[in-house]
Amino acid sequence: MIVNKKKVQTGWAMYDWANSVYSLVITSTIFPVYFNSVTRSSDGSDIVRFFGYEIVNTVLYSYSISASFLLIALISPLLSGIADSSGKKLDFMKFFCYLGSFACIGLYFFDGPNLEWGVLCSVLASVGYAGSIVFYNAYLPEISEESEYDLLSARGFALGYIGSVILLVLNLLMIQKPEWFLIPDDGIAARISFLIVGLWWAGFAQFSFRVLPENPYGKKITSQILYKGYSEIRLVWREVKSMNVMNKFLPAFFFYSMGVQTVMYLAASFGDKELGLPGDQLILTILIIQIVAIGGSYFFAFISKKYGNKQSLMVMVLIWTGICGGAYYVYSLYEFYALAFVVGLVMGGIQSISRSTFSKLIPENTTDHASYFSFYDVTEKMAIVLGTLSYGAIEQITGSMRNSALSLGIFFLVGLGFLTLVSIPKQDLSPKKVLDHD
């Protein structure tokens, strides 16, 4: 058994506390609103010049998200294969953590005219976040038993929501009342919030880095690491194709993730452009989502335990489909609040249960968890690439984000169709051996 198993699991969950401030403050709330504000001209035009090309600012933002996740999708299989082969999972996790946190600090210097710098830092922050998650997720089956997956996964998400809400409230106060913090204006306050995110992320990650096992399988680094990384990826790919349940679950996860992740990344932009909501109301909306998501992740963990993962996921995907239809008809602030409440209810649950479901489908005797999770993460990243790309393209073609939001419902319906074909095995509650680590 792992020495101090409880401490290791707490340290693992704390990384959600550390990095979730990025996904809330940078991707979901303050940065999208700040980006739209500083890239809008004095006459109200939303057309910007990026490396000499004219493009709508929100479309550029959508495409920058697509580019960052395309990059991480291309490199994460290799990295996770190497990580499993060398046993240096923790080193890779640290590298991407620091890349992302320093990129967030770099956003402090983005003030509008230096658009290319702002996009570069946002892309690198996204790569750092996504890259570290590959290795973070791969620890789940190594530090817990199968019967613990759902609850531990939910615990991580819940800690992430709590930590990010605390920082968001502080940032919101800074932006609303900059004079309380001796800050000249709300624009500087927003930039300081990006700086704080980078410091928070790298700082709290130290709790995880101190307790997570460095090399749980005792493998040594050899000159064949690079080749081994590729060979492990090919081996896992062959195994995934032959696994009847997993090869149906992953397409389902891919399609509904196209919708989930796109909503998470572009909800603030939708409220800003389509509803004309001020920044403080948009941030309050996302705050509602985060608070509700804490309870939602635990609620659907309970539903999964009682009725099974498949039923829980199908209910959530149906609710998400309704959310996309509802977004098309939302025009008032309170309608937006109501929709945000429903999003929060299913946002944490669908991510948590998806992660724990995939953990249960990994062969019990494997030691290549990072390679398996690379497929899970690449599936999610490619879903973000295609989801945000299609969202931006539809807005560019039709001139309305409402059409983009409505189109996301199609992705959820396709995902639901694949879920009906999945037969997730009943959870084995017998004790499962946890890896030895001294």
**Whole-angstrom distance between the N-terminal and C-terminal Cα of the chain?**
9
| Mean pLDDT within 25-33 | 85
* Per-residue pLDDT tens over the stretch 333-360: 889 889 988 988 898 788 888 888 888 8
pLDDT at residue 418, as a whole number: 92
Checking if the pLDDT of 213 tops 90, the result is no
Which residue from 174, 180, 173, 169 is spatially nearest to 192, judged by alpha carbons?
Answer: 174
Checking if the pLDDT of 296 tops 60, the result is yes
Specify which residues 47 forms β-bridges with: 56
Percentage of residues of the chain with pLDDT beyond 90: 32
Which residue from 206, 204, 201 is spatially nearest to 107, judged by alpha carbons?
Answer: 201
Checking if the pLDDT of 417 tops 50, the result is yes
Q: Regarding predicted confidence, which is higher, 120 or 27?
A: 120
Alpha carbon 43 to chain centroid distance?
35
Identify the three-state secondary structure at position 36. Answer: helix
Name the band, by pLDDT with cuts 50, 70 and 90, for residue 33. Answer: confident
Which residue from 223, 225, 395, 420 is spatially nearest to 315, judged by alpha carbons?
Answer: 420
Checking if the pLDDT of 394 tops 60, the result is yes
Checking if the pLDDT of 216 tops 60, the result is no
CATH class given for the domain over 5-421: mainly alpha
Q: Regarding predicted confidence, which is higher, 195 or 277?
A: 195
pTM for the full predicted model:
0.76
Name the band, by pLDDT with cuts 50, 70 and 90, for residue 258. Answer: very high
| Mean pLDDT within 35-55 | 85
Mean pLDDT of the chain: 83
Q: Regarding predicted confidence, which is higher, 84 or 275?
A: 275
Q: Regarding predicted confidence, which is higher, 38 or 220?
A: 38
Amino acid at 85: S
Q: Regarding predicted confidence, which is higher, 8 or 297?
A: 8
| Mean pLDDT within 215-243 | 65
| Distance, CA of 13 to CA of 239 (rounded, Å) | 29
